Amino acid sequence: MSMEKPARVRFAPSPTGHMHLGSARTALYDYLLARKTGGQFVLRIEDTDFKRYVPSAEEELMNGLRWLGLDWDEGPDKGGPYGPYRQSERKEIYLKYAEQLVESGQAYYCFCSPERLSKLREEQQKQKQPPLYDGLCREIPLAEARRRAAAGEKYTIRFKTPKSGVTTVRDALRGEITVENRTIDDYILVKSDGWALYHLAAMVDDYEMKITHVIRGSEWLPSLPLHALIIRAFGWPEPEWVHLSVFLKPSGKGKMSKRESAELIKDGHSIFVKDLEALGYLPEAVVNWVALMGWSYDDHTEIFSLSDLVEKFSLDKLNPSPAAINFTKFDYFNGYYIRSLSVPELAKRVKPFLTAAGYQVDDDRLEKIVPIIQERLNTLDDSVEMAGFFFKDEVVPAGEDLVAKGLTPAESAELAEQALEIIRSLPELTVHQAEQPLRALVERSGKTPQQVFGIIRVAVTGQRVSPPLFESMEIIGKEIVIKRMENAVAVLKKLS
């Protein structure tokens, strides 16, 4: 354990869509910092944007975190000392704090109608002025404001941003950031329906939940001075601010658009965690890959398990430069982790893919197959194409696939028959017993191994590409191999 103080960090997603790589990375860094320092990882659901709310999103987020192995200590499902952990259940808490700011003169009731505000914005646009609230309600005496509110007038609560001076905040990756206060708007903290907006809600929650480090996307960087001002208005301790770099598209040119993200799936890629699981990527690969999109340990180490990361992670190695999403790297990591799994473990991981493809999977057989496909899999899903034939009752090779390249159907039939005779004559169909006589057939026939073994491969597996032939035949078993060879001979004879 390090000497750092235990960190309390929170992952605070809005359940508005699919969990993507950016969220996975934020959650990962949260998790790493909490585990490394012996602190807590809090899951908070920021679900007060009712228009954009997607009912299935919270569960998807939790499933995504579990799949990645990022278990949290406190959250809506687990509870904890600072709950509730869903913002939709904390409305009164935010109101209480908003009132506290109103009381101390650092926030005020604003009665401006949406019509007035949009007119104001239009006017400012025309004059090429920044779209800031003009402060009309800023100086209404509190007693009067309360009277109007009590009489039923609609109001929002705005932050009373200082109009002079500067605000300086420190971001862990970028150092000090200073802005002039007059450029900061009197932002709305509470809407007219009584719901707090992010600017207030997140600050209140981070305070109440005793968060020590706020790790979030750099899209929040422009709001940072406002957030610091709000926290300072309350007189609360400030958390350490950590704004992570943005992700760029693979070309490195700009951010990925919605359409571009959706189109990735055509190439077997995605930026959505749920898709990556379905495509047959391993969580170990996702973790390793996203860990390095914004953090590095040194200039050469690339392979990091989750526990390596817990040990090695530190905030001072985070990098503020944008990171291009590199799927080639991702595929490399996935291959690496597929090859480093034990046979029983890999069997356990590919089984759901084979089952989903409709195969009845026998576990003993699968454990025999895994060693011969392990080297060849790029994703777990590749197992369906590569090994599905092992679980089929029958294979139905296309006639033209059975005809070896450069040979006639009659010549191919002849070779298939000879191979069949050899297989029949073996006491057992093992790699050991089959290899020598079948290679001798190649020699004798004067044909190439590709031609002879190609016919057998298509006959036995039903496909042109398969795992090593002799091993495959041994697993399929003599009886079925003979049946498939007989069928192939019959098909080829019909073509002759």
Tokens read off for 281? 């990527």
- State the minimum distance, in angstroms, from the CB of residue 232 to ligand GLU: 18
Binding mask 154-193 for ligand GLU (x = CB under 6 A): ----------------------------------------
Question: What are the residues whose beta carbons fall under 8 Å from the beta carbon of 152, sequence distance 6 or more?
Answer: none
- State the minimum distance, in angstroms, from the CB of residue 13 to ligand GLU: 5
| Cβ nearer to ligand GLU, comparing 243 with 457 | 243
- State the minimum distance, in angstroms, from the CB of residue 304 to ligand GLU: 24
| Cβ nearer to ligand GLU, comparing 45 with 415 | 45
Q: What is the bridge-based pairing of β-strands 156-159 and 188-190?
A: antiparallel
- State the minimum distance, in angstroms, from the CB of residue 217 to ligand GLU: 6
Q: Which one of residues 14, 161, 218, 466 is an interface residue with ligand GLU (CB under 6 A)?
A: 14
The verdict on 8 binding ligand GLU (CB under 6 A) reads no
| Cβ nearer to ligand GLU, comparing 207 with 333 | 207
Q: How far apart are CA 102 and CA 33, in angstroms?
A: 36
Cβ atoms 469, 412 nearer than 8 A: no
| Cβ nearer to ligand GLU, comparing 61 with 460 | 61
- State the minimum distance, in angstroms, from the CB of residue 361 to ligand GLU: 39
Tokens read off for 116? 């007035």
Sign of the torsion angle spanned by Cα atoms 9, 245, 14, 282: negative
> Is 258 one of the annotated active-site residues of the chain?
yes
| Cβ nearer to ligand GLU, comparing 86 with 138 | 86
Contact segment (CB under 6 A) with ligand GLU among 6-14, 252-260, 272-280, 407-415 equals: 6-14
DSSP 346-393: HHHHHHHHHHHTT----HHHHHHHHHHHGGG-SSTTHHHHHHGGGG-S
- Nearest alpha-carbon partner for 307 in 43, 27, 42, 70: 70
The catalytic position among 126, 128, 253, 258 is: 258
| Cβ nearer to ligand GLU, comparing 19 with 481 | 19
Q: How far apart are CA 494 and CA 496, in angstroms?
A: 5
Of all residues in the chain, what percent are helix, strand and coil, respectively (each to 5)? 55, 10, 35
Amino acid occupying residue 295: W
- State the minimum distance, in angstroms, from the CB of residue 141 to ligand GLU: 35
With CB under 6 A, what is the number of residues at the site for ligand GLU? 7
Q: Which one of residues 202, 323, 361, 458 is an interface residue with ligand GLU (CB under 6 A)?
A: 202
The verdict on 33 binding ligand GLU (CB under 6 A) reads no
Amino acid occupying residue 147: R
The verdict on 239 binding ligand GLU (CB under 6 A) reads no
- State the minimum distance, in angstroms, from the CB of residue 19 to ligand GLU: 10
Q: Where are the alpha helices (DSSP H) in 159-282?
A: 198-208, 224-234, 258-263, 273-279
Q: Which helix (H) or strand (E) holds 218?
A: none
The verdict on 12 binding ligand GLU (CB under 6 A) reads yes
Q: Which one of residues 36, 90, 199, 216 is an interface residue with ligand GLU (CB under 6 A)?
A: 216
- State the minimum distance, in angstroms, from the CB of residue 60 to ligand GLU: 14
- Nearest alpha-carbon partner for 270 in 254, 286, 255: 286
Q: Which one of residues 25, 43, 46, 98 is an interface residue with ligand GLU (CB under 6 A)?
A: 46
Q: How far apart are CA 308 and CA 36, in angstroms?
A: 10
| Cβ nearer to ligand GLU, comparing 12 with 441 | 12
The verdict on 13 binding ligand GLU (CB under 6 A) reads yes
- Nearest alpha-carbon partner for 460 in 416, 422, 412: 416
Contact segment (CB under 6 A) with ligand GLU among 10-18, 293-301, 375-383, 389-397 equals: 10-18
| Cβ nearer to ligand GLU, comparing 18 with 216 | 216
> b/e per residue, 184-213, with b = 16+ CB within 10 A?
bebbbbbeeeebbbbbbbbbbbbbebebbb
Residue found by looking up tokens 């235990």 in the block: 6
Mind telling me the catalytic residues? 258
Q: Site residues (CB under 6 A) for ligand GLU?
A: 12-14, 46, 202, 216, 220
